[in-house]
Structure 1
Amino acid sequence: MSYDVAAVRSHYPALASGEAFFDGPGGTQVPQAVVDAVSRTLAGPLSNRSPLSAPQRAAGEAVDACRAALGDLLAADPGGIVFGRSMTALTYDLSRTLAQGWGPGDEVVVSRLDHDANVRPWVQAAERAGATVGWIEFDRSTTELGVDHLEAVLGERTRLVALTAASNILGTRPDVPALAARVHAAGALLFVDGVHHASHCAVDVGALGADFYACSPYKFGGPHCGVLAAAPSLLEQLHPDKLAPSTDDVPERFELGTLPYELMAGTTAAVDFLASLDPTGASSRRDRLVAAYAAIEAHEDVLRARIEAALHDRADITVWSRAAERTSTLFFTIEGHRPEAVHAALGERGISVSSGDCYAWEPCRALGLGAEGAVRVGLAPYNDDDDVDRLLEALPGPIG
């Protein structure tokens, strides 16, 4: 059974606007099933979690279902799924908790390839603890980050390494399992930013070797929120600041305040929708997700190849996405046209893209692009050939 993009598109109400959406790396459009789940949960009956009444039990069921769905999505223990306002908020919370055990002589390692949400929380926490910060560089010509780049800074006092599984602007996918093996051999923990990765690839947190893996459901068709996955046994060792009456159970000890039950229900619906795109008819939700991601990735790669070929045909366009292993994301500049101006011109023609540094502060500066950055085009499960035709036709032409 082939990937039926027309059928997929029929589930996204936003597509009725006629817009061609290439801004998925900043947040995808939402299928109707997610809208319905959020609305249905808000309509209730619903109260704060407790086993003592039907509305309270409904809240608990939404939480349990969400943890189970994310466990299937990430091949992770549902008991180690932490829900939060955003990946950035969760990373800040975790960095402050881990930093309680850091001090002078310790080292935290971050990478020049990463979105700032996986850089600044660690840098700031390390500085406050008196620990030093090491930087993993990446190859500017290929945009690759390999084991040799890591080993140049990894040391016996390294306590934590923070790395991306996929760059949100370049699409670069480092070999995380190989990097994780080196991190663990040094006795350090590995925090993996999977926000862009989970949007395009089937995730297995254990196979990656990630001690912590963070992602954002709104990047794969869900509502705006964040998720952190870790082994419950590891979370048991950590003691975040929390309110005195709140539970000390894992993972709840990391979830501050009342959980957004409607967003958790929407996240479950997003995972179930992804699983429904399985063309193989697999039996378990996990197997359906793996098959669906394979079909989505193959579909997106075909479209990416079309766009990439057209961009490379133009001498005035520089494509900065160059890694051998990467997602369906392209970051490019057009000579004589500021990225923001290209973004605006496309927007006037009903084509949504992104521009600037897209919070990838370090890689944009490493590449010499600065805050102006470049134009980012990212593919999602609902993009089709007509979208690509419109994009390529609307790109500003050469100057002169």
Structure 2
Amino acid sequence: MGFDVDKIRAQYPALADGRAWLDGAAGTQVPEPVIEAISDAYRAGLSNVGGPYESSRRSSGIVAEARAAVADLVGAPDPACVTFGPSMTSLTYRFAGVLALGWNPGDEIVVTNLDHDANVRPWVQLAQRAGATVRTAEIDPATGELPVDDVVGLIGERTKLVAVTAASNVLGIMPDLKPITDRAREVGALSYVDGVQHCPHAHVRIADLGADFYATSAYKWAGPHLAAVVAADPWGLENLHPDKLKPSPESSPERFELGTNPFAAMAGVVAAVEHLADLDTDATGTRAERLAISREAVAAHEARLATRLFDGLAGVSGVRRHGAPQGPTTPTAFFSVQGKAPAEVSAALSERGLNVSAGHSYAWELVHALGIGPEGGVRASLSHYSTTEEVDRLLTALGELSA
């Protein structure tokens, strides 16, 4: 097998501590190639772009390489489609500010209560300021799934934007986006897709999703703390003019990036994408071709572990998994233990060497729609470096806690 989880894990220094790192949805650990790429960039010396010396040219090259790497990862047609920023939340506020400039009273936007609040609140706040109407697509509270027909039904001739997640950050549910984005395009609306939890677990092709904008965070796929919003084509950015400093670049995508880019972190992004492309050692060809093969191998590995996790949780008395998805999901489980607060469960699992998160995880509308409130639940989320043994450790510990 070209995908060898033990060899992959050996590249991650943090995993050597013996703990089970089951919190990938909150951020993955970083492999040696990424650590070295960041360190090497600093060792070689970096200067701001635009200078006539090697350190400045090195920074410019790193930025270009990072755009090309993310474009390969998500299937963008051109590196010029890729805008970088410190987080998905900050970038979404940035894009919301410019996209909302054309909104007027009577216009409409569509959001969902399956989404992380970062793909809800910026759009709602800007719509309220513009006097536009917000339409919210509701999940099925019994299953947690987002009925696609309901979302499509909210999109009309006055719709300006549809914001929807490609994968829930707590339930793992992956809605069928294409009917939604097709309908948005049909009425002349834009689609903004939150791919933060989708990108780490899927072979992404923006064209297949139909997204006009796709957001991803590198620290969810073994990279540094950096995010990107990727347009479906460069033209999608050319017609947008965000507020910026007068002497800042007029070119796109540079005009969307405030201040100096984190060049060393961008070197880490390049290394992370290369790492993902090489997870299946049998993968050959261009980076994009190797990514396609390796991402499929990751999906198969995670699917096996997810089945073990989901089936195991169903067999632990006193444990209730929130949502009952019937369609595709990421390897993420959101659950509660009878008689124990989520934070209490997370702390008890930590004492047993298991890293899982607890709370609402910023899925603010979703936890209320599920009827569990801001206390939220416990989230176990698997990654490409997760193992069967770690899943079994979690299930055993939960059995002890719920006994």
TM-score, scaled relative to structure 2: 0.97
Q: Residues 133-171 of structure 1: CA distance to partner in whole angstroms, max 9, x if unpaired?
A: 110111122222233111332221110000000000000
Deviation at 1:68, TM superposition (A): 0.7
Q: What does residue 13 of structure 1 align with?
A: 13
> Which amino acid in 1 is paired with 2:37?
A
Q: What does residue 236 of structure 1 align with?
A: 238
- The separation in 2 between residues aligned to 1:385 and 1:399, in whole angstroms, is 21
327-336 vs 160-169, which moves further? 327-336
- The separation in 1 between residues aligned to 2:147 and 2:293, in whole angstroms, is 28
Deviation at 1:254, TM superposition (A): 0.2
- The separation in 2 between residues aligned to 1:315 and 1:184, in whole angstroms, is 47
> Which amino acid in 2 is paired with 1:369?
I
Q: What does residue 84 of structure 1 align with?
A: 85
CA contact (8 A) 1:335 1:398 kept: no
Q: What does residue 185 of structure 1 align with?
A: 186
1:135-146 matches, cutoff 5 A: 135-146=136-147
Question: 1:387 and 1:99, CA in 2 relative to 1: closer, same or farther beyond 3 A?
Answer: same
Q: What does residue 397 of structure 2 align with?
A: 394
1:156 to 2:157 alignment: yes
143-152 vs 322-331, which moves further? 143-152
CA contact (8 A) 2:359 2:374 kept: yes
1:198-213 matches, cutoff 5 A: 198-213=199-214
Q: Residues 80-100 of structure 1: CA distance to partner in whole angstroms, max 9, x if unpaired?
A: 100001000000000011111
Q: What does residue 103 of structure 2 align with?
A: 102
Question: 1:190 and 1:123, CA in 2 relative to 1: closer, same or farther beyond 3 A?
Answer: same
Deviation at 1:278, TM superposition (A): 2.5
- The separation in 2 between residues aligned to 1:269 and 1:202, in whole angstroms, is 18
Deviation at 1:111, TM superposition (A): 0.4
- The separation in 1 between residues aligned to 2:70 and 2:402, in whole angstroms, is 48
1:49-64 matches, cutoff 5 A: 49-50=49-50, 52-64=52-64
1:273 to 2:281 alignment: no
- The separation in 2 between residues aligned to 1:345 and 1:321, in whole angstroms, is 23
Q: Residues 227-257 of structure 1: CA distance to partner in whole angstroms, max 9, x if unpaired?
A: 0000210111100000000111010010010
- The separation in 2 between residues aligned to 1:52 and 1:278, in whole angstroms, is 40
- The separation in 1 between residues aligned to 2:323 and 2:58, in whole angstroms, is 45
* Structure 1 residues without counterparts, runs of 5 or longer: none
Question: 1:314 and 1:109, CA in 2 relative to 1: closer, same or farther beyond 3 A?
Answer: same
Q: What does residue 359 of structure 1 align with?
A: 362
- The separation in 1 between residues aligned to 2:180 and 2:101, in whole angstroms, is 25
- The separation in 1 between residues aligned to 2:5 and 2:396, in whole angstroms, is 21
Q: What does residue 259 of structure 1 align with?
A: 261
- The separation in 2 between residues aligned to 1:399 and 1:200, in whole angstroms, is 30
CA contact (8 A) 1:343 1:354 kept: yes
- The separation in 1 between residues aligned to 2:321 and 2:334, in whole angstroms, is 6
> Which amino acid in 2 is paired with 1:156?
E
Deviation at 1:395, TM superposition (A): 1.4
> Which amino acid in 2 is paired with 1:165?
A
2:347 to 344, 348, 360: 344
> Which amino acid in 1 is paired with 2:350?
G
1:32-51 matches, cutoff 5 A: 32-50=32-50
CA contact (8 A) 2:107 2:132 kept: yes
- The separation in 2 between residues aligned to 1:290 and 1:327, in whole angstroms, is 17
- The separation in 2 between residues aligned to 1:381 and 1:60, in whole angstroms, is 31
Deviation at 1:51, TM superposition (A): 5.6
Indicate the SS of the match to 2:348: helix
Q: Residues 335-387 of structure 1: CA distance to partner in whole angstroms, max 9, x if unpaired?
A: 11111111000111111001111010011110001111111010011111221
2:331 to 328, 331, 340: 328
Aligned-pair RMSD on alpha carbons? 1.3
- The separation in 1 between residues aligned to 2:321 and 2:2, in whole angstroms, is 30
Deviation at 1:398, TM superposition (A): 6.6
Q: What does residue 194 of structure 1 align with?
A: 195
TM-score, scaled relative to structure 1: 0.97
Q: What does residue 300 of structure 2 align with?
A: 298
- The separation in 1 between residues aligned to 2:9 and 2:60, in whole angstroms, is 32
Deviation at 1:279, TM superposition (A): 4.2
- Aligned length, in residue pairs: 400
* Structure 2 residues without counterparts, runs of 5 or longer: none
Indicate the SS of the match to 1:337: coil
Indicate the SS of the match to 2:374: helix
